[in-house]
Amino acid sequence: MSVTANKVVMKKATREAFGDEIVELGKKNKNIYVVDIDIGKSCKTTAFSQQLPNQHVNVGIAEQNGAGLAAGLATTGKIPFVSTYAVFGSLRMAEQIRQEICYPNLNVKIACSHGGLTPANDGGSHQSIEDMGVLRTIPNMTVIMGADYHSTRKLVAQAAEIYGPVYLRFTRDTVPFIYDENEEFTIGKAKQIQDGTDIAIIANGDTVYLALEAAKQLEQEGISVKLLDMHTIKPLDRDAVVECLNIGKIITVEDHNILNGLGSAVCEVVAEEGKGLVRRIGVQDKFGESAPYEKLLEMNGITIENIVKTAKEMLK
């Protein structure tokens, strides 16, 4: 919990949402397994291992082995969730994900904490800024990042229901609550937070709250904002992006390299449609460093102030 401008903001890391939801899913479905890479405390799978030990495997610090084991479990009808840090679950496991999971289209879920800049003081080595971009280029892979605790729980539950490889990205640091527990989400379908006519903002993950606050500020200045939570960047909700082209001006906001992430995915649609203007706000194609999370966002222009400034410049 934090206090901003005399307003109490409730916060919780989305890795907590995964930890809470996977226990409930495992109790309901004995085919759900967790494959741990020896960091259950950080990835919030300790409760699962304690309550459902027969559905839990710890392979030690061996991500590639974990991916291979998960592939094997999937061939027997199990639904394994490989749990590790995003930098390792995307890059160190990339060959196994491609060859052993996505190529045969196996029902494996890669559930990764510490996405984006949220590892903060852990430094650039632990800040996964390219993971969603790398994995969205692999056929059969679905790529998801919820914006808050409740949306993440719903998306984890849906990931367990759909067949095929899924990459789920969670935050290490706490992020504000946006939705209530009764809100519904559909993988591959953008969540429209508000409609507008002057400019469209499409955000993902921990930046959705920043986009929402920027939209509120712009609305106070008479600028009408259409705001989308694009929790699934693959398959991207192409129809939602095309609808934004009726406005013509789009800002994308993400805690990810502006190359090959949400911004690039939106630009692909806009280019193919042959109209519209896009400005991408995100990590500026550089590695992070050890610093507070908010400072790292500021260094990359991922701020409420920069979203507002960019919108006004586009409307000139």
Question: What are 186's two structure tokens?
Answer: 């559909």
Compute the distance between CA of residue 256 and CA of residue 250 in angstroms, rounded to an integer.
17
Task: For 258-291, write each residue's pLDDT tens digit.
Answer: 999 999 999 999 999 999 999 999 999 999 899 9
The pLDDT of residue 122 is 84
pLDDT of residue 7: 53
Asked if residue 316 lies in contact with residue 140, where contact means CB atoms within 8 angstroms, the answer is no
- Whether the ω angle into residue 104 lies within 30 degrees of 0, i.e. cis, is no
- In this structure, the dihedral spanned by the alpha carbons of residues 172, 286, 311 and 185, taken in order and rounded to 10 degrees, is -40
Q: Provide the pLDDT for residue 3.
A: 36
Q: Is 95 a catalytic residue?
A: no
In this prediction, the residues of the chain whose per-residue pLDDT falls under 70 are: 1-9
pLDDT at 1: 38
- Which listed residue (16, 21, 24, 63) is catalytic? 63
Q: How many CB atoms lie within 10 A of CB 240?
A: 19
Please give the Cα distance from 158 to 314 (Å, whole number).
Answer: 37
- H-run or E-run covering 134: helix 131-136
Spatial contact of 117 and 288, defined as CB atoms under 8 Å apart: yes
The answer to whether the beta carbons of residues 117 and 144 sit under 8 Å apart is: no
